[in-house]
Amino acid sequence: MPRTVLALTALFVLGGTAAAQALPTADGASAPAPATGQRASAGLLAAMQRDLGLTPAQAEARLAAEEKATALEPKARRTAGASYGGSWFDAATGRLTVAVTEDASPATVRELRATGVAVRTAEHTARELDAAKARIDKLSAPAGVSSWHVDPKAGTVVVGVVRGERGDTDVRRFLERAREAGPVTVQETAAAPRTFAAGTVGGDPYYTGNVRCSIGFSVHGGFVTAGHCGRAGAGVNGWDRSYIGTFQGSSFPDNDYAWVSVGSGWWTVPVVLGWGTVPDQLVRGSAEAPVGASVCRSGSTTHWHCGRVLAKNETVNYSQGAVHQMTKTSVCAEPGDSGGSFISGDQAQGVTSGGWGNCGSGGETWFQPVNEILGRYGLRLHTA
């Protein structure tokens, strides 16, 4: 495959600056069901073994279990109805766990269990927790507050506070107001989130001025990436500095998504670069993986790394301002990794935004869910 194709379709290639937000799937949008029977490559299994501490056999078993959980989650949500308290993938049991409130009927619980999911009792519904988070989103957060999200397993809104900042007056005041909004748990975070900015360096990126970012997922007519990488109308050059196309739409902060039209001899294919660590990966859909599932990414700086989905619908308090509905992962990233792809199995998940830490000592990274970008701009994911 020509290098121009690889540069254009690096589904996991993370790019230059990253600041970030993950938005929810557009109302009414449906993600394709995950493909079945797709054997994982040896490289992908090796990356999961390295980053998740699994054997190849355990990695294969986990991918199969996550594929089943991903397919079950929408049905479980519909079955639980108003009693739905959230769901997550339990790596220890290999099953999807669904929380329901005590007013769920015995018939509902039986129907859920018949699908193979585990059922747990929740004090609050997902709707109540989402409403509490929405009220917190209206608050102005100080620098010592890193993020907040709904945690269905804990049944609360978890607010992250940077280590050593809990005694700060503004942080204490924010937490007081957050607790007035609903059930809140405070969690210490190792560092404040930051965007993954990078100057012009070599690799397989794209460039907007002196900013380096990585291509996310191919769509028909172009590719999607992070919004902080360029404004609408900005020109884009490829890894060889030849002209690719133009930012057709971009939103940042508040959101962190964009799409770039492609022309001038460049074209798109449904591929994520493996960077020699794993074979280039085909993209077959965009079914959203549950909390707890494994997820991998590829980037122009740190290449291929894997981890777990830690939380969804998280508000991240960057120095540029709060961004909403991000997905948090345990995958590491570094400057230059912004805009690239997150994938679970062969299902596109989102484009990299920001985080903290590095791939030497570890860290956390947020991504903008891809289905929101597709819905926002009316794009169609290029799939195999």
- Per the CB < 8 A criterion, the answer to whether 137 and 322 are in contact is yes
**What distance in Å separates the CA atoms of residue 125 and residue 140, rounded to the nearest whole number?**
26
**What distance in Å separates the CA atoms of residue 282 and residue 290, rounded to the nearest whole number?**
21
3-class SS letters over the chain: CCHHHHHHCCCCCCECCCCCCCCCCCCCCCCCCCCCCCCCCHHHHHHHHHHHCCCHHHHHHHHHHHHHHHHHHHHHHHHHHHHEEEEEEECCCCEEEEEEECCCCHHHHHHHHHCCCEEEEECCCHHHHHHHHHHHHCCCCCCCEEEEEEECCCCEEEEEEECCCCCCHHHHHHHHHHHHHCCEEEEEECCCCEECCCCCCCCCCEEECCEEECCCCEECCEEEECHHHCCCCCEEECCCCCEEEEEEEEECCCCCEEEEECCCCCCCCCEECCECCECCEECCECCCCCCCCEEEEEECCCEEEEEEEEEEEEEEEECCEEEEEEEEECCCCCCCCECCEEEECCEEEEEEEEEEEECCCEEEEEEEEHHHHHHHHCCCECCC
Q: Which residues are catalytic?
A: 228, 256, 338
Radius of gyration of the chain (CA): 20
Q: Which of 269, 356, 365, 251 is CA-nearest to residue 11?
A: 269
**What distance in Å separates the CA atoms of residue 292 and residue 136, rounded to the nearest whole number?**
24
